[in-house]
Each structure stands twice: as C-alpha cells, then as structure tokens.
Amino acid sequence: MFQVQKTLISDDVALAKFSCHLSSCKGACCVVGEGGAPIEKHEINHLNKAYTLLKNELPEKSTQEVESKGLIRSSKDGLEVARVGRSECVFVIETPEKVSICAIQKAFYEGRIDWEKPISCHLFPIRIMNIGDLDFLNFEFVPEICTPGAELGRHKNEYLAEHLERPLVRKYGIEWYDEFIHACVHVRNQHSTPV
C-alpha cells in the first residue's frame, strides 16, 4: 500500500494490467453486481437532470422502476443508482451488437449533456472506500466482469493506473495524478527488483 496526498492506494492499482474490452465483456460492469453504482451526494442533481433528459430513451422496465421506487437508493454503504432487478443499472441501454452501455455517457459523447456519468462507474474497476478523512483506492477484480479487460491489458502491456487516467484526473486533479503515476512506477520497480 502507498499514499498520495489524502489517498491510500493498494499496490494492485499500480501493478495490475488492465484495458477495458467492451466488445468482449459486453458491458458487464453495468449489469452485474451486488448493488447499484455508488454515488456521491453532489452527483444526485446531475443524475436527476440526466434522467429527465433520457427517460424516453431508456427501456420501459427502467422507467417503471424509477417512477415507482425513485432514482436514488440508500444502501448500507451509502447512496446508489437504482437498478432493475438485482443488478442492472436503470441507465443501461443496449447497442445493436448486444453490448450494455450507459445512456448518460452516450449522451455526453453526443454533446447532449455536460456530465459523463457517476465517478464510481468511470473509475471501475477501481473502487474508493472512505477511511476517516482518507480515500482508499482498491482494484476490485470481479472475474466475470474483469477477465477480458485483464487479458487485453496484458496483451497491450497497459497498466490499470494509466488506462484510468481520465477518470482519476477527473476525481483528484492532474497534480495528484502526476504524483500518483510517479508512485506507481516506484511500486512497480520495487516489485520487479530481485530479493
């Protein structure tokens, strides 16, 4: 484990090879899991605006869920986005190729909304836990979701830390990210040095 400013980071975050492989995993991170996407309080307004904009584009099962039970839910770990059934996010839409994608992110790429998606989704498979006034960043490897990304990362020789540069900068800023990458390289060098 290492520290960068007010974040504690698992060595796995520095050492793991990972590159999202959407065509292979089919967007499993949006539809598989134990709960909805974790959200921060300041994201609620963005999510409400996104739902208002996109509700006519979402599957009927999603809008029925939101209209009957609300968009934001409380869980033992905090707030989360509503889901259909046990795991599928209400913002999931399916491409013609049967890939699950985020309707918010699609609208963002199309220039129809100025907020990309919850930061927890953007950072996955990095998960953040609060420990006092520190954030703890961990690589949450879920085999049924992450195996294609891990295989592609090894094939491309791309590290998780570099692959998630954009969301990490979005969350913590460029100065933090530069310090973080420097620390990641140090951790990698330590792990590659023979004992």
Q: How far apart are CA 191 and CA 195, in angstroms?
A: 9
Q: How far apart are CA 114 and CA 13, in angstroms?
A: 28
pLDDT in tens, 64-80: 999 999 999 998 888 99
Q: How far apart are CA 67 and CA 159, in angstroms?
A: 41
Cα of first residue to Cα of last residue in the chain, in angstroms, is 19
The 10 Å Cβ neighbour count of residue 156 is 13
The 10 Å Cβ neighbour count of residue 112 is 12
**Of 143, 186, 140, 188, the residue nearest 164 (C-alpha):** 140
Specify the pLDDT at position 194. Answer: 52
pTM metric for this prediction: 0.91
Alpha helix (H) residue ranges in the chain: 11-15, 22-25, 44-54, 60-69, 103-109, 119-123, 143-156, 160-163, 165-172, 174-192
Contact 106, 93 (CB under 8 A): yes
CA dist 109 → 106, 133, 195 (Å) = 5, 34, 48
| CA 125 from centre of chain | 6
Contact 9, 182 (CB under 8 A): no
**What residue segments make up the domains of the chain, in order of their start?**
1-18+125-195, 27-115
Q: How far apart are CA 125 and CA 120, in angstroms?
A: 9
Give the pLDDT band of residue 195 (cuts 50, 70, 90): very low
pLDDT in tens, 5-48: 999 999 999 999 999 998 888 888 888 877 788 999 999 999 99
Specify the pLDDT at position 22. Answer: 86
